[in-house]
A = this chain, B = another copy of it.
Amino acid sequence: MINFQFYSPTEIVFGKDSELGVAHLLKKHGATKVLFHYGGGSIKGSGLYDRVIKTLDDENIAYLELGGVVPNPRASLVREGIKIVKENNIDFILAVGGGSVMDSAKAIAVGAKYEGDFWDLYDGTKITAALPLGVIVTIPASGSEASNSSVITNDDLGLKRGTNSDFIRPKFAIMNPELTYTLPNYHAFAGVVDMMSHIFERYLTNTPDVELTDLMQESVLVAIMDNAKRLLKDPYDYNARAHIMWAGTIAHNGVLGVGRTTDWASHGLEHELSALYDVSHGAGLAVIFPHYMLYIIDHDVDRFYRLAVNVMKVRPNKNDKRGVAIKGIRKLQEFYKSLGMPLTFEDIGAKKEDIPKLVEQLNINKGDTFGGFVKLTMDDARKIYESC
């Protein structure tokens, strides 16, 4: 086990009607003037928008609004939010939505405390301050509600970049599984792929002797898959929704990745896909991750063998570990397919002739490598994209 720091201070309020406590939490965390940040019409259609506005009004909490966040949230809207915050002395950001809204809110929170253009903070400049933010989660997927990360797409440059900082961990996260009942299946299951991928990125480690986190990761993966299958049958299954929602938080708040190196090669490869084709991040990961696993399987057959046996429930056979490992990855693809997720470039309309552009945008200097599990070159990236 390697040395680690673990810090996950977000106060989670989870369950039915939990959104009714938003004013209490805002006051507890000292909010006096709030930017209410959200996406499109879904929270208006569901009535959540009205409930939040009513609570803020009833409790006399001043606020301004900024809607319009889209999947793969845009730098241009972030800049608009930063301008509103700076011009109106806003001291707290309330994000209501999924990962895109939360990530956009995080970008506004750090940009509001930064003199230059916020994009610097997604391009290598260290974050040293942020406005506090809180979230009401409507899409379980990104784990952004308790994570230290945010990913923004620069619409001018056609680039997608992430940043990490403890300053952007939300102060509170309100999570009501009932708010996810109306989520279209495609979004719900792209979320499932996203959270499973957050665990895979931590599962693929070169650190020996990490049984505790291995076993915990495997349990969360099993629970996610079991409950996703329940959702396929009944989208109004409260406990299945609750399991998926909480698993999304656990998958990315850090607790499953302590004491071990992690990977993140697939997230890098996928970001360029969703930047170029505007495919949902989870759907892109359903394409990339299994192909990536097959490409690097010989780096550590034992690891993919235990994934196959412990998570994908392939029958153990120590005389053919590689075969079992491959069966596990194929079963993962079948599972994704059963959820209606894409498996290939063709399924998402990605084109072979775009591969050079995808590789170029990965922004890897010639001779450099990426990925924490296997050191991948640009040539590897090309081959993995081609295998998709």
Contacts and interface: CB of A to CB of B under 8 A. Distances in A.
Given A211-B243, A212-B243, A4 B15 contact: yes
A5 B211 CA distance: 28
Contacts of A246: 1, 212, 258-259
A226 B212 CA distance: 10
B8 A8 contact: yes
A326 to B, nearest CB: 25
B18 A11 contact: no
A13 B5 contact: yes
Contacts of A219: 212, 215-216, 218-219
B242 A227 contact: no
Contact of A211 (B15, B227, B255): B227
A216 B247 CA distance: 11
Interface string A199-214: 0000000000101100
Given A5-B11, A14-B3, A215 B223 contact: yes
22 contacts: A1-B15, A1-B238, A1-B242, A2-B15, A3-B15, A4-B14, A5-B11, A5-B12, A5-B14, A6-B14, A7-B9, A8-B8, A9-B9, A211-B223, A212-B220, A212-B223, A215-B219, A215-B220, A215-B223, A216-B219, A242-B259, A250-B255
B15 A239 contact: no
Interface residues of A, number: 38
Of listed A13, A209, A227, residue having the most chain B CB within 10 A: A209
A3 B238 CA distance: 12
A279 interface: no
Contacts of A220: 212, 215-216
Contact of A18 (B3, B238, B242): B3
A165 to B, nearest CB: 14
Interface of A: 1-9, 11-16, 18, 209, 211-212, 215-216, 218-220, 222-223, 226-227, 238-239, 242-243, 246-247, 250, 255, 258-259
A260 to B, nearest CB: 11
A226 B211 contact: yes
Contacts of A6: 11-12, 14
Contacts of A222: 215
A150 to B, nearest CB: 20
Contacts of A209: 239
B11 A7 contact: yes
A216 B213 CA distance: 10
A12 B3 contact: no
Nearest to A5: B13
A361 B309 CA distance: 50
Contacts of A18: 3
A11 B6 CA distance: 6
